[in-house]
Amino acid sequence: MGEKFENINELEDLLDDKKWLEKRKNKAENALLKLSDSLINNFELMNLEEKKSIRTKMKKVIELLEYLEQKEDEILDEEIDYDSKKYYTRQEAIEELDISLSTLIRWEKEGEIKPLESTKGKKGKKGKVLYPKKEIMKVKEIKK
């Protein structure tokens, strides 16, 4: 089960962590490619110390990649628990409020209901727009 988020700041922190990890992972992968290219292109010209140095650097980059992948897995494990009903998807909000999609969107634009930022799914797939349960219940009471 994923972690249940009590406020939007925790969710934003999680999304920021994911972005930071993705950047670090890309940099590490690029460094590994450069090191391997250097090793391949200059292998005959290198002395033993240079070869050992590149091998050590590659090991460190591989360890960093493994660490970043582990951290990424931990963050993915902390994905929002949709079953907790602390958050509603757009469709669930429409059903709970008994309104149309256009009404929900209009209320968003008018500032009557505030969704969380759209969350991203795994591997860059489009995520879901979520609404805190408290927001939905507040709007439901006002609109009665």
Whether residues 37 and 93 share a domain: the answer is no
In Å, how far from its chain's centre is CA 43?
39
| Percent with pLDDT over 90 in the chain | 0
Residue-number span of the structural domain to which 40 is assigned: 8-77
Predicted TM-score (pTM) of the model is 0.37
How far apart (Å, rounded) are the C-alpha atoms in residues 122 and 126?
9
Q: Determine the pLDDT at residue 24.
A: 83
Number of Cβ within a 10 Å radius of residue 21: 17
pLDDT digits (tens, 9 = 90+) for 75-118: 665 554 544 567 777 888 888 888 888 888 888 888 888 887 65
What Å distances lie between residue 143 and 2, 95, 97, 98, 107, CA to CA? 32, 14, 9, 11, 11
> Total structural domains in the chain?
2
- Strand partners for 88: 131
pLDDT of residue 11: 63
In a domain, 129, yes or no: yes
- Given the structure tokens 């907790």, which residue do they identify? 84
Q: Are residues 35 and 63 in the same domain?
A: yes
> What percentage of the chain has pLDDT greater than the value 70?
72
In whole angstroms, how far apart are CA 82 and each of 31, 128, 130? 38, 10, 9
Domain assignment present for residue 2? The answer is: no
Asked if residue 1 is part of any domain, the answer here is no
